Amino acid sequence: MTIMVWLSLLLICLLGAMSPGPSLAVVAKHSLSGGRQHGLVTAWSHACGVGLYALLTLLGLAVVLKQSPTLFNVISYAGAGYLAYLGVNALRSKGGVAEKLAAGKPSSLFEAGRDGLMISLLNPKLALYFLALFSQFVALGNELSSQIVIVTTPLLVDGLWYTLVACVLSYPKVLQALRSRAQLIDRLSGVVLIALACRVLWSV
C-alpha cells in the first residue's frame, strides 16, 4: 500500500469519525458524568467496535450483511431500540448526566465501555459505510501488512478522535461551565438520541 492510498484511507476514516451522531452523544455523556477516564473507556470500546466492522469488511462478511435484508433489519431495529433506551433515560434523568453530577455517582467503567461498544456494534450503517467507501482499499490489501493497516487505521482514528472529545469535555474549566447546564444537556441528548432512533427506523 502506497502512502497516497493510505492518506486517502485516513481521510475517509477521519470524516467518518468526525460526523456527529449517537457515538458523540454517548462519549460526551460519560465524559461529563464520570470524567476523563470514563470518556476514554467509552471512546476506545467504541473504537474496538469500529475495528471489528473493518475486519468484517476485510473478510467479506459485510457483503453477506448487505445481501441479507432480514439480518440487516434485525440489527437496525436492535440499534434503534438501544438508542431510544438511552434517549428515554436521558430525558428522565434516570442515570443521566444531571442526576449523576448532582449525586456524585458516575456510571461504572463497565457501563461506559458497554455503551461505547454497543453504539458501534448495533450500527449496521457502519458496515455499509465500510462496504461503500472501504472496499476499494480492501481490494488492495492482499498482503498481510496491508490488511493490518486497513483494519487498524479506522480503529486508531476513531479512538484518537473520541479521546480528544473526552479530554476536552473533561477539562476542569469546560466541565465547570457545563455542570450548570447538566439538566439541559440531558434533555438535548435525549431528544437527539430518540430522533436518531426514529431516523434509523424510518430508513429501514
pLDDT in tens, 166-182: 998 877 676 666 666 66
Residues 165/39, Cβ–Cβ less than 8 Å: yes
Nearest to 26 by CA among 197, 203, 189, 191: 189
DSSP string, 6-36: HHHHHHHHHHHHHS-SHHHHHHHHHHHHH-H
Cβ-Cβ contacts under 8 Å for 80 (sequence gap 6 or more): 197, 198, 200, 201, 204
Give residue for cell 461505547: 116
Question: Which amino acid is present at 33?
Answer: S
Question: Which amino acid is present at 57?
Answer: T
What whole-number distance in Å separates Cα of residue 100 and Cα of residue 56?
37
pLDDT attached to residue 178: 62
pLDDT means per 10 residues, the chain with 204 residues, are: 81 77 83 87 94 82 69 75 81 58 67 91 74 63 77 93 88 67 74 78 70
What whole-number distance in Å separates Cα of residue 204 and Cα of residue 192?
19
End-to-end CA distance of the chain: 36
pLDDT attached to residue 40: 95
HSE toward the beta carbon, residue 82, CA cutoff 13 A:
20
Tell me the pLDDT tens digit for each residue of 118-133.
Answer: 988 887 777 767 766 6
Three-class SS state of 191: helix
Backbone angles phi, psi at 191, to 5 degrees: -65, -45
DSSP string, 35-90: -HHHHHHHHHHHHHHHHHHHHHHHHTHHHHHHT-HHHHHHHHHHHHHHHHHHHHHH
